[in-house]
Chains A and B, each alone.
Chain A
């Protein structure tokens, strides 16, 4: 009895505080102070949401920059079921997949004869990576220029404009947000 009463009361009390009051108060304040972020940083075009600034999308058209490969199922970039491939470095399935991706990229970028930036042929941890490296964006620049009838310089300027550096020049890595870049592309030359 000396154990049961304090255990039950404190467990219930602390559950209410940390499991109901805390998340609800956080939700309330978040919705008040940061409604855009709290609801997924949605990106709209013509008044309709077309994605989240933080979540990657699949692109297959030659007129768009392509995102990284994604291991989510049943389709890539399924933001309802995140996850990575979990393939080990020596798994033959990894080599086979990468080989296929490199072949596809070579075919789509005949002018690029060097090695392909690694992020463009590997899947991300979340399967939802919204970014590619600046190297991966530049790799695709000539294809985009040709498909859109733009000059290489125009496309490269657009990439540079959408390259985010490290936080305070120190933390993280330089990235290019693929959705933002493609939206800018549509705006530049629909």
Chain B
């Protein structure tokens, strides 16, 4: 590790803390109904839709609205891909996407996963990118955020049988939060070199007289919302490593910041809405502690480099003239520090955009993003889903603490009882089951094994990473795996759908149950949930559960590989 790298990581964390409060204040105003400058756009939409903005829904109707809305998203993205050859804005004449790939991609973007079995610039028309994928970048992000808001309202309300109006929340989240920030952000990206046009690909003669094709397209508008909504689906195959998506160190910094901005801001919203801001900062602290540990692991491991290359005569030592380290699959402008930092951010949050190829990371450098995904995407996590996931772990943590001291657990004045714990179990256990069962099936079946690009333990890691990424709705990959096959497209598609909506339904059920409860005043035996003790307990719960579930699976992949690398 280098001082220069540590400094850049520290600067990033400071920037996250600086945006937390202002963004949190603004989002609180949006969901409390206080921000109204787009009334002219909003009101006719509600009128047409027959939605009365004062009318609220109980958790089941709220959940029904969310589910149906997302099913429409899947249908629309599927149809656009299948029909793109007949539709406008297709200057490269891209043909219809195959049914299995279109199915996978439709679910992938509707679930905020943005797993990409296809290569963007060789598959998708501009219309599919704009009206299919970009739209889902907004709407799936809004879906996660409003479910988190519904859960927070469950804590904040007492004796209430409603959680808000899903239609109003979805619309306001999209129009007030994501759209204006995305628009300004997109223009900033263009100013730095991210392209934004509808032209056909450019063909030109290079300096040495070769031919080169430059893929074009409306990239900046998609890039902005892709990062802000923790979606992560790149316009291009190389994602944020592509210079037209992420041209320099400044765009890289802003792109990283925009992944964490909303998840961090939502922690503040949580504290504000439950009437005790310290509660929000406590969650954010727990997230930051886990995150910092993983960044250092990835950074140290990548900077140490690959002993195989040193033996062959490559210079991996850091100096004023090169960043050194394991540069396979990394860009020179980002070097080691910013590649390791980006990889950790994108997997701590359920973004999944990449600026370096995780498949070529050193074993421990690759273990960091893999395990962060497996922890359940609660370390900042996806927009909304990170907060509600962490709150589920917080409930588990107070439950465990309650068991230790023999008291009925309570969190923010709400008694945690059998029903909540059942739902917490569903929310927490769904994704590990999908990951481990999916990997186990894939490694014993021929079509599962056929996709591996690397031999040995690393090939197994590729499969484990794929199911971890899909079920936890991350979307990044050990991208050597040939996953654009009917087998992986269908299996991963199902994993993404169940991994998104089963926990989400459980969370809304918890929200409904909590909202109906009264608030018990804190007594002498109440566990304080805003201090370092609770932060430690929460960090411990997240790490222990992840470790207990996944260490055996990790031992067969990255751990074995690291031991083999040491032997070199």
Question: Is B322 in contact with A89, judged by CB distance below 8 angstroms?
Answer: no
Asked if A154 is an interface residue, CB under 8 A from chain B, the answer is no
Pick out which of these stretches binds chain A: B213-221, B419-427, B428-436: B213-221
Q: How far is the CB of B8 from chain A (nearest CB, A)?
A: 6
Q: How far is the CB of B182 from chain A (nearest CB, A)?
A: 7
From the candidates A9, A13, A89, A95, name the one contacting B312 in the complex (CB within 8 A): A95
With contacts A58-B208, A115-B314, A117-B322 known, is A81 near B565, CB below 8 A? no
Q: Which of A39, A49, A123, A125 has the most CB of B within 10 A?
A: A125
Scoring A48, A57, A124 by chain B CB atoms within 10 A of each residue's CB, the highest score goes to A124
Is A57 within 8 A of B221, CB to CB? no
Docked-complex contact A88 and B359, CB < 8 angstroms: yes
Given contacts A122-B327, A171-B250, contact A88 B561 (CB under 8 A): yes
Asked if B332 and A94 make an inter-chain contact with CB atoms under 8 angstroms apart, the answer reads no
**B202 to chain A: closest residue by CB:** A40
A119 to B134, CA, bound (A): 34
Q: Is the CB of A116 within 8 A of B328?
A: no
Cβ A119 vs Cβ B73 within 8 A = no
Q: Does A110 contact B (CB under 8 A)?
A: no
> How far apart sit A19 and B248, CA to CA, in the bound complex (Å)?
27
A9-58: which residues lie under 8 A (CB-CB) from chain B? 9-11, 13-15, 17-20, 22-23, 25-27, 29-31, 33-34, 37-42, 45, 48-58
B65 interface contact, C-beta 8 A = yes
Minimum CB–CB distance from A42 to chain B (whole Å) comes to 7
What separation, in Å, do the CA atoms of A85 and B359 have in the docked complex? 9
* A136 CB contacts on chain B under 8 angstroms: 322
Closest to B328 in A: A122
In chain B between 406 and 420, which residues have their CB closer than 8 angstroms to a CB of chain A?
Answer: none
Contacts of B195 in A (CB 8 A): 37-40
Which residues of chain B in 310-356 are interfacial with respect to chain A, using CB atoms and an 8 Å cutoff? 310, 312-316, 319-335, 337-339, 354-356
Minimum distance in angstroms from B168 CB to a CB of chain A: 10
Given known A-B contacts A79-B213, A82-B121, A125-B330, A130 and B243 have beta carbons under 8 A apart: yes
Is B238 in contact with A91, judged by CB distance below 8 angstroms? no
Q: How far is the CB of B220 from chain A (nearest CB, A)?
A: 6
B 35-57 contacts with A by CB, 8 A: 41, 45, 48-51
Contact, CB under 8 Å: A82 / B214:
no
Docked complex Cα distance between A144 and B202 (Å): 30
Q: Could you tell me the distance between the alpha carbons of A57 and B243 in the complex, rounded to whole angstroms?
A: 13
Neighbour of B204 across the interface among A26, A49, A91, CB < 8 A: A49
Q: List residues of A (104-121) whose CB comes within 8 Å of B's CBs.
A: 106, 114-119, 121
Say which residue of A38, A91, A133, A134 sits within 8 Å of B454 (CB atoms): A91
**Bound-state Cα–Cα, A117 to B11, Å:** 28
Q: Which residues of A contact B183 (CB under 8 A)?
A: 22, 25-26
Q: Is the CB of A131 within 8 A of B207?
A: no
A interface bracket (residues with beta carbon within 8 Å of B): 35 or more
Interface string of B442-463 (1 = CB under 8 A from A): 0000000000011110100100
| A84 with B175: CB separation less than 8 A | no
Q: How far is the CB of B170 from the nearest CB of chain A, in Å?
A: 7
**With known contacts A86-B329, A115-B315, A128–B242 Cβ distance under 8 A:** yes
Q: Give chain B's interface residues, CB within 8 Å of chain A.
A: 4, 7-8, 11, 41, 45, 48-51, 64-65, 68-69, 72-73, 76, 119, 121-122, 130-132, 134-135, 138-139, 167, 170-171, 174-175, 178-179, 182-183, 186-187, 190-199, 201-202, 204-208, 210, 212-216, 218, 220-222, 225, 236-238, 241-244, 247-250, 252-253, 305-306, 308-310, 312-316, 319-335, 337-339, 354-357, 359-363, 453-456, 458, 461, 478-480, 561, 564-565, 568
Given A85-B357, A86-B453, A173-B322, 17 additional A-B pairs, CB 8 A = A4-B68, A9-B49, A17-B175, A23-B218, A23-B221, A34-B190, A54-B243, A78-B212, A82-B119, A86-B454, A87-B454, A89-B458, A102-B313, A118-B305, A126-B242, A128-B242, A171-B253
Query: Which 9 pairs, one residue from A and one from B, show the smallest C-beta to C-beta distance?
Result: A172-B249, A86-B480, A125-B241, A173-B335, A82-B238, A80-B213, A115-B315, A88-B458, A135-B321
- Chain A contacts to B: CB under 8 angstroms: 3-11, 13-15, 17-20, 22-23, 25-27, 29-31, 33-34, 37-42, 45, 48-61, 64, 68, 75, 77-92, 94-95, 98-99, 102, 106, 114-119, 121-136, 138, 166-167, 170-175, 179, 182-183, 186
A-B contact pairs, 26 of them (CB 8 A): A3-B68, A11-B76, A14-B135, A14-B175, A17-B175, A23-B222, A51-B212, A77-B212, A79-B214, A82-B119, A82-B238, A89-B306, A89-B328, A94-B328, A95-B308, A99-B312, A115-B314, A115-B315, A118-B305, A125-B357, A129-B332, A133-B321, A135-B315, A171-B250, A173-B332, A173-B337
